[in-house]
Amino acid sequence: MTFQTFQPDQIALVSAIVQELSRQQPDLPAEAALMNKVIEAANMICDECARERIYANKAMTPAEWLASDDVGESSRYMLACLANIGCPPDNGPRPLAASDLGRCIRMLRACDLENKIELMRDRGKRWSELVEHWKPLVRAYDEEDYEKVSELLNPSN
């Protein structure tokens, strides 16, 4: 889960991008506007690789969690439902893999919403089934039994 920051070689990235563009378009002219975008892209990659990540491993408000690097579709949907943020439709995205489930569990713990999981039963059949298996799912996830997590998340597979 943790990302180790590092500083990539910006010149090597620029060179690799230009080389790939030239492979795809052999007659590509050396144009200033395009080179500026290539440099901008390489700089964005370098900045992202050097940026410290923010994970949901401590108490957070919903706003802090939404600004973290630990947000997925299903966990965002759960937060909207459980913290009354907006009016999400029923049958919204649900976790399909252990990584999705982990983001949901960490969000619930970080935002102190674990005691509200039962409210997800009213969000459609798929969510009702998920809540039915919630305790065994959390236990399997905490024990790093990802095969069991997958079986519980996708019982028909």
Q: What is the pLDDT of residues 16-37, one digit of tens each?
A: 999 999 999 999 988 999 999 9
Which amino acid would we find at residue 8? P
Is the pLDDT at 15 greater than 90? The verdict is: yes
Q: How confident is the model at residue 10 (pLDDT cuts 50, 70, 90)?
A: very high
pLDDT in tens, 31-86: 999 999 999 999 999 999 999 998 888 899 999 999 999 999 999 999 999 998 88
> Is a pLDDT exceeding 80 seen at residue 157?
no
Task: Please give the model's pTM, rounded to 2 decimal places.
Answer: 0.78
Give the model's pLDDT for residue 1. Answer: 54
CB atoms within 10 A of CB 74: 21
CA-CA distances (angstroms) from residue 152 to 3, 75, 99? Answer: 28, 17, 14
Residue 119 CB-density burial (10 A; 0-12 exposed, 13-18 middle, 19+ buried): middle
Residues 130-151 have a mean pLDDT of 96
According to the model, what pLDDT value does residue 24 have? 96
> Residues for the chain: how many in total?
157
